[in-house]
């Protein structure tokens, strides 16, 4: 009698199966519908091809294209098999490198003697469609290191040979093929069982990429694509990309004259007057909110000796991302090594440590618009979204363990108010719990995790637990915004830290007269000002709320005869601190209107002889695309009221 194993399904039900049962057989046991839809499965959390077997009791999960994991598996198949094979069909001498999945898509790197450009993507895509139409079965075989090397050396796939040679494993190399086509590829899998499971796809762009990301290596061609369950989902995604391109903050910033970046200072922002107006207005708004909520605003040095970074642990863990400076100290025979601060936390602890703190002093809430610098690889930088120099709305709360819950609730309340007033009604909360490698005692982690979770529950806000994703020093909450076109942005964060107060000797005197370590709560609402402004620009498609707009009103003259009247109007608006641009240029009024419309100025006052004669103001509302006529006092009152900050 053959031995049986127990298969436990996600709903808790169990089935008996023979040792060596395959994924195909398991899904068939469950039901014909699932057998048809299944594309892969997991065994005790490890993803497997349906052709793989199970040899012991196991928890099983079945993937279909309806799941995020299933979609990623399909994208991997499209990249590693369909795109790679199409490239080989069209460019037989091409050398295949790697083809991973990325967010919403995939890419494949290859070396080709023939030049491959964006104009070739339709041809490659057509070849991919022919390959998918074959509905070939995808077959996996296992090989020793020696045999795997020979398999790829025989077909001159030198990058595959390098990958195998550099691997530490000696056997079980997975080679996938498509029926009897002769095409093979090395891959970790899993993959679709056959090409008839491939959904809808589209190649999107081509670029250069160094082998292994190292500029000392040869430049490869990289073809990008996206793949979805069906044509409807693909079209929806492509429409989203098109809309995102229209909202690209770099494009809008040029039209609005907000900022620029240049090679002489990579990843550093040159703020123009109008962009800096947004920055300062937003900063002052957050400043008032924080002060009203019990924060003390501080400022700490930008350049700090390595000794502090060694004490905090950043020198060991984060040095490769830090900008290092060396100077010859006067009257010293050695160089002083400093670093531009990549974060503000150690400096905030230094301020807390000045003077003895009692439990009665806690919580201590410190806030700083801290200028930080982090080294980001040149290929990862993207406008304001990822820079090397940035400012955080950073804050640190020093509190007792018993105060964690109330401080969490207060922070979420403040964050909710700010997000709402900035136009983001929807955000998600993700609670990340203790990772496997961590500091601190389990009982303290228990208390911190429970406090964070309890605070969310009491505010009746939905949240998602991400087990094991907390920082090594404590659990955290991440706050994810959803913008006007449905994209998610992780901005705010609230993190409990039991590590840094100990490393930097932060203390308070308890009610019993003994010394205790405070819990350090790291918090940010906007995160990076630069990134958040980029998000705001894209969310509003440049049409910012009136109180944030760098120019709130443009006064445009139709003829020089009304210049004096227009100047008088500007003086009236200036009295109420409105940001007004007076355009007296000798240009056609249509040209002026188009230019200020492109700059996303929310209101335009077109002044002609009629307005001057009647002592009125005709104001065009860009957002509502309508024009109304007001008396001077009515116009001033309307705009001054609407331009008030939400504070």
Q: Which residues are known catalytic residues? A: 345, 374, 392, 394, 396, 476, 522
Distance CA 45, CA 490 (A): 27
Distance CA 539, CA 135 (A): 42
* 344-359 burial code (b ≥16 CB/10 A, e <16): bbbbbbebbeeeebeb
Distance CA 478, CA 481 (A): 10
297: number of CA atoms within 13 Å, CB side?
A: 14
Three-class secondary structure of residue 449 per DSSP: helix
Three-class secondary structure of residue 174 per DSSP: strand
Closest of 530, 279, 254, 538 to residue 387, by C-alpha? 530
- Which residues share a beta bridge with 320? none
Distance CA 131, CA 179 (A): 11
Residues 200, 228 contacting (CB under 8 angstroms)? yes
* DSSP string computed for 289-356: HHHHTTPEE----SEEEHHHHHHHTHHHHHGGGS-EEEEE-TT-SSEEEEEE-S-SHHHHHHHHTSS-
- Output Rg (C-alpha) for the chain, integer angstroms: 30
Q: Calculate the CA 197 to chain-centre distance.
A: 30
The residues near 277 (Cβ < 8 Å, ≥ 6 apart) are 550, 579
Any idea how long the chain is? 647
Both structure tokens of 617:
């103001």
Please name the helix (run of DSSP H) or strand (run of DSSP E) that holds residue 430, with its range, or none: strand 427-432
């Amino acid at each position: 009698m053959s031995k049986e194993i127990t298969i436990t399904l996600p709903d808790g039900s169990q089935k008996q199966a023979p040792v060596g049962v395959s994924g195909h057989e398991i899904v068939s046991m469950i039901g014909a519908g699932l057998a048809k839809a299944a594309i892969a499965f997991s065994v005790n959390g490890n993803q497997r091809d349906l052709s793989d077997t199970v040899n012991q009791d196991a928890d099983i999960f079945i993937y279909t294209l309806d799941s995020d994991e299933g979609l990623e598996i399909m994208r991997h198949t499209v990249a590693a098999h369909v795109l790679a094979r199409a490239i080989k069909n069209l460019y037989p001498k091409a050398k295949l490198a790697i083809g991973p999945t990325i967010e919403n898509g995939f890419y494949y790197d290859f070396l080709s003697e023939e030049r491959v450009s964006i104009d070739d993507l339709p041809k490659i895509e057509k070849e991919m469609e022919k390959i998918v139409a074959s509905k070939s079965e995808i077959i996996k075989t296992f090989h020793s290191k020696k045999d795997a090397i020979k398999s790829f050396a025989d077909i001159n796939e030198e990058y595959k040979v390098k990958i195998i040679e550099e691997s530490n494993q000696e056997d079980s190399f997975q080679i996938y093929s498509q029926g009897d086509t002769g095409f093979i590829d090395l891959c970790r899998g899993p993959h679709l069982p056959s090409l008839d499971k491939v959904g809808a796809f589209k190649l999107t762009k081509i670029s250069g990429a160094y082998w292994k990301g190292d500029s000392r290596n040869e430049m490869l061609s990289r073809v990008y694509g996206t793949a979805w369950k069906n044509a409807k989902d693909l079209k929806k995604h492509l429409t989203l990309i098109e809309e995102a391109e229209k909202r690209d903050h770099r494009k809008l910033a040029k039209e609005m004259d907000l900022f620029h970046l240049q090679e002489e200072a990579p990843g550093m922002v040159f703020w123009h007057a109008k962009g800096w107006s947004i920055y300062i207005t937003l900063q002052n708004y957050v400043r008032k909110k924080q002060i009203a909520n019990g924060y003390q605003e501080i400022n700490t040095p930008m350049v700090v000796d390595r000794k502090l970074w060694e004490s905090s642990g950043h020198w060991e863990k984060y040095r490769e991302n830090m900008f290092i400076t060396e100077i010859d100290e006067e009257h010293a025979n050695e160089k002083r090594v400093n670093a531009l601060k990549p974060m503000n936390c150690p400096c905030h602890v230094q301020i807390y440590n000045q003077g003895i703190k009692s439990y009665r002093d806690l919580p201590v809430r410190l806030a700083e618009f801290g200028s930080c610098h982090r080294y980001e690889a040149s290929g990862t930088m993207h406008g304001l979204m990822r820079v090397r120099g940035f400012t955080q709305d950073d804050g640190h709360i020093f509190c007792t363990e018993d105060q964690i819950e109330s401080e969490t609730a207060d922070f979420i309340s403040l964050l909710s108010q700010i997000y709402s007033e900035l136009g983001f009604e929807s955000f998600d909360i993700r609670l990340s719990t203790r990772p496997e490698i961590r500091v601190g005692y389990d009982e303290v982690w228990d208390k911190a995790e429970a406090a964070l979770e309890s605070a969310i529950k009491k505010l009746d806000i939905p949240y998602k637990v991400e087990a094991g994703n907390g920082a090594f020093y404590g659990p955290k909450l991440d706050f994810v915004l959803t913008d006007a076109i449905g994209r998610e942005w992780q901005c705010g964060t609230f993190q409990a830290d039991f590590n840094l107060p100990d490393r930097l000797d932060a203390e308070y005197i308890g009610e019993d007269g003994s010394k205790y370590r405070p819990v350090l709560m790291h918090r940010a609402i906007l995160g990076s000002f630069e990134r958040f402004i980029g998000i705001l620009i894209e969310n509003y498609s440049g049409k910012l709320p009136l109180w944030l707009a760098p120019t709130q009103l443009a006064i445009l003259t139709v003829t020089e005869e009304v210049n004096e009247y227009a100047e008088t109007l500007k003086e009236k608006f200036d009295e109420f601190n409105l940001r007004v641009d007076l355009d007296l240029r000798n240009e056609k009024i249509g040209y002026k209107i188009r230019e200020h419309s492109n700059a996303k100025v929310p209101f335009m006052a077109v002044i002609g002889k009629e307005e001057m004669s009647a002592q009125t103001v005709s104001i065009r509302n860009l957002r509502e695309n309508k024009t109304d006529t007001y008396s001077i006092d009515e116009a001033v009152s309307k705009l001054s009221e609407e331009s008030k900050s939400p504070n």
